[in-house]
Chains A and B, each alone.
Chain A
Amino acid sequence: MTTSFKTSVDSGSRAMIVRRRLKRGVVTAVVIAIYVWSARGIGFNVVDILRELPLFFSLLGRMLPPNWSFGLRILPAVIETIQIAILATAIGAVFSVPITLLAAGNVNGNRPLYLVAKAFMNLIRTIPELLYASILVAGIGLGAFAGMIALVIFSTGVIAKLTSESLEAVDTGPFEAIHAVGGNKLELIRMAVIPQILPSFSGYTLYVFEINIRASTVLGLVGAGGIGTVLRTSLDLFRYQNAATTILVTFLLVAVIDFVSTKLRERLI
């Protein structure tokens, strides 16, 4: 009796081990198949990679030493980068307000409109900022304005997404109280929604500002203004030492903005 019990456990656990090994084997085979398919599709092979690698490093090496005197000349571009980010964040924050309200199920009772707002936010965020920027450069023309609009679209989507999620999680007690005393939608928004959501809305806006600063440094690579324009020109003219200075300045700018923005966000919370 005890022996038969023991063997049945053993065979059971053995079957489990076999099943697990089989599953792991299948997963591994699928992963390898996907990898081989991808590598063959784009003609990837290690020999080619290694053959050209010295050229890549020699290009990188030509960036050294950075041309320090170039640092001051790019100050206007640095300022433009900051201005693009500030403006895009501010306008995006304004645009995000109606979408936030529509995309919060506890404020907007109209189900179809709610779903449209949610879908719109997700749609906006699937397209990278730089694609927006290059499309707008083609449509509006070269320069900071196209880049700024690209970041507005992106910021609107992200701020609305994050804020509407916070809004859906707030205390609905005040909502019911305002309904009970006969308040209308606008009064509900002013008295119950805004006071509860303002801190997280401001926090997300600052967070998006940090993202926008980063994005705004590379907009110029597709012709949409800011310090990336200087970087693109330096690279196109093979002035790699100037490019190195530009990258270092960009790095410094991002670090400073992150620091300031983090401090501000800490004060909000």
Chain B
Amino acid sequence: MTAPGNGRAPTDRILRIIRVVGNVLIILIVVAWSGRGVKVDIQRLGRGLGTIGRIIGAMFPPSTEHFGRAVAAMVESIQIAIVGTTVAAVLTLPVSFLAAKNLGAPNAVVWLVKQFLNAIRAFPELVFGIFFVASYGPGPLAGVMAIGVNSVGMLGKLNAEIVENIDRGPIEALEAAGANRIEVFVYAILPQVIPEFVATALYRFELNLRNATVLGLVGAGGIGVILLQSLQFRRWPVVGMALLIVVVAVTVVDYSSAYLRKRIN
């Protein structure tokens, strides 16, 4: 057990200490600068944490009379996530093959589709939510569309990578046997990629469930709507009940989805 630095030249140790102290100093300066910008000092931080304690205290006991309404809204969030993810999976299907380099799509098309997917991913989901609420009116439909369109960015990217990593063996075998392009696609490519597409969609579904709870904050349906309303009037026991339902539902869905993904792989 030799301490690090032992046995080296003393100048090495001094240099090392200077580097560590320098790094710590840089971090402290950056944090202090940020603290001044956000107007946070230790006192305010303490008060803020005290407020959290008071909020949590006010949420208990959660309002049992809103239990039914909160569960119904959470079910709506789950339904939004299910339909939204399905819409996304359908929209992604053609894009996945166009964004893959190995299936004969022209390079320019591949590049263009990939940039398009990047642009969608860069767009905040809540902004999609705001636009869809503006065009479809408040409600779950706007949430479905926000999730459906926004998920295409990530699903398209992941699915294109899956397509790019397929085994060429079956394709060559079918081509050698004289199969046409459609037959190669249906019998050699689709069977390889579909299970993995399903797994990525399930993974995205887990993220989308969280997103579906948030989208209600801009009016796009689900449990977020209840949170928005109860927060406006500071009805903390209702907020507590809604949060409780979110925690239970997200935990259950996460475990089931992870279990299903394991089964598919």
Q: With an 8 A cutoff between CB atoms, is B11 at the interface?
A: no
Q: With an 8 A cutoff between CB atoms, is B126 at the interface?
A: yes
Q: Are A218 and B221 in contact, CB atoms less than 8 angstroms apart?
A: no
Q: Are A35 and B38 in contact, CB atoms less than 8 angstroms apart?
A: no
Of the candidates A49, A82, A87, A127, the one whose C-beta lies within 8 Å of that of B243 is: A127
The residue of chain A having its C-beta at the shortest distance from the C-beta of B231 within the complex is A138
Residues of A within 8 A of B (CB): 34-35, 37-39, 41-44, 48-49, 52-53, 55-56, 59-60, 79-80, 82-84, 86-87, 90-91, 122-123, 126-128, 130-131, 134-140, 144-145, 148-149, 153, 174, 177, 195, 217-218, 221-222, 225, 228, 231, 235, 243, 247, 250-251, 254
Given A59-B134, A60-B131, A139-B54, does the pair A49, B145 have CB atoms closer than 8 Å? yes
Of the candidates B127, B139, B231, the one whose C-beta lies within 8 Å of that of A247 is: B127
Of the candidates A123, A126, A145, A149, the one whose C-beta lies within 8 Å of that of B39 is: A145
Could you tell me the distance between the alpha carbons of A228 and B134 in the complex, rounded to whole angstroms? 18
Min CB gap B139→A, angstroms: 8
Which candidate, B78-86, B150-158, B165-173, B181-189, is the interface stretch facing chain A? B78-86
Min CB gap A88→B, angstroms: 9
Could you tell me the distance between the alpha carbons of A122 and B51 in the complex, rounded to whole angstroms? 22
Q: Are A52 and B48 in contact, CB atoms less than 8 angstroms apart?
A: no
Q: Are B246 and A127 in contact, CB atoms less than 8 angstroms apart?
A: yes
Min CB gap A138→B, angstroms: 4
- On chain B, the residues within 8 Å of A80 by CB distance are 37-38
Q: Are B38 and A84 in contact, CB atoms less than 8 angstroms apart?
A: yes
Tell me what chain A mostly uses at the interface: helix, strand, loop, or mixed. Answer: helix
Q: Are B34 and A134 in contact, CB atoms less than 8 angstroms apart?
A: no
Given A39-B83, A149-B52, does the pair A128, B214 have CB atoms closer than 8 Å? yes
Q: With an 8 A cutoff between CB atoms, is B234 at the interface?
A: yes
- On chain A, the residues within 8 Å of B130 by CB distance are 221, 235
Q: With an 8 A cutoff between CB atoms, is B211 at the interface?
A: yes
Per the 8 Å Cβ criterion, residues 28-57 of B in contact with A are 30-31, 33-35, 37-40, 44-45, 48-49, 51-52, 54-55
Could you tell me the distance between the alpha carbons of A173 and B135 in the complex, rounded to whole angstroms? 62
Tell me what chain B mostly uses at the interface: helix, strand, loop, or mixed. Answer: helix
Given A52-B136, A59-B134, A79-B37, does the pair A90, B80 have CB atoms closer than 8 Å? no
Min CB gap A87→B, angstroms: 4
Q: Are A48 and B141 in contact, CB atoms less than 8 angstroms apart?
A: yes
Of the candidates B4, B140, B251, the one whose C-beta lies within 8 Å of that of A42 is: B140
Could you tell me the distance between the alpha carbons of A91 and B31 in the complex, rounded to whole angstroms? 9
Min CB gap A158→B, angstroms: 14
Could you tell me the distance between the alpha carbons of A136 and B50 in the complex, rounded to whole angstroms? 12
Q: Are A135 and B55 in contact, CB atoms less than 8 angstroms apart?
A: yes
Of the candidates B217, B232, B247, the one whose C-beta lies within 8 Å of that of A127 is: B247
Q: Are A131 and B123 in contact, CB atoms less than 8 angstroms apart?
A: no
Q: Are B38 and A145 in contact, CB atoms less than 8 angstroms apart?
A: yes
Q: With an 8 A cutoff between CB atoms, is B164 at the interface?
A: no
Min CB gap B47→A, angstroms: 9
- On chain B, the residues within 8 Å of A83 by CB distance are 33-35, 37-38
Q: Are A34 and B82 in contact, CB atoms less than 8 angstroms apart?
A: yes
Could you tell me the distance between the alpha carbons of A43 and B45 in the complex, rounded to whole angstroms? 45
Could you tell me the distance between the alpha carbons of A37 and B78 in the complex, rounded to whole angstroms? 11
Q: Are A217 and B124 in contact, CB atoms less than 8 angstroms apart?
A: yes
The residue of chain B having its C-beta at the shortest distance from the C-beta of A82 within the complex is B34
Q: Are A177 and B1 in contact, CB atoms less than 8 angstroms apart?
A: yes
Min CB gap B156→A, angstroms: 17
Given A39-B83, A128-B211, A145-B39, does the pair A247, B131 have CB atoms closer than 8 Å? no
- On chain A, the residues within 8 Å of B4 by CB distance are 195
- On chain B, the residues within 8 Å of A218 by CB distance are 124, 126
- A-B pairs with the 4 shortest C-beta distances? A83-B34, A42-B140, A83-B37, A38-B79
Given A41-B76, A83-B34, A126-B251, does the pair A235, B51 have CB atoms closer than 8 Å? no
- On chain B, the residues within 8 Å of A90 by CB distance are 27, 31, 34
- On chain A, the residues within 8 Å of B141 by CB distance are 42-44, 48-49
Could you tell me the distance between the alpha carbons of A56 and B246 in the complex, rounded to whole angstroms? 30
Could you tell me the distance between the alpha carbons of A144 and B45 in the complex, rounded to whole angstroms? 12
Per the 8 Å Cβ criterion, residues 53-85 of B in contact with A are 54-55, 75-76, 78-80, 82-83
- On chain B, the residues within 8 Å of A48 by CB distance are 136, 141
Given A80-B37, A128-B210, A128-B214, does the pair A44, B83 have CB atoms closer than 8 Å? yes
- On chain A, the residues within 8 Å of B127 by CB distance are 221, 231, 235, 243, 247
Min CB gap A78→B, angstroms: 11
- On chain B, the residues within 8 Å of A59 by CB distance are 131, 134-135
Min CB gap B28→A, angstroms: 9
Q: Are B124 and A221 in contact, CB atoms less than 8 angstroms apart?
A: yes
The residue of chain B having its C-beta at the shortest distance from the C-beta of A252 within the complex is B122
Min CB gap A76→B, angstroms: 9
Min CB gap B191→A, angstroms: 13
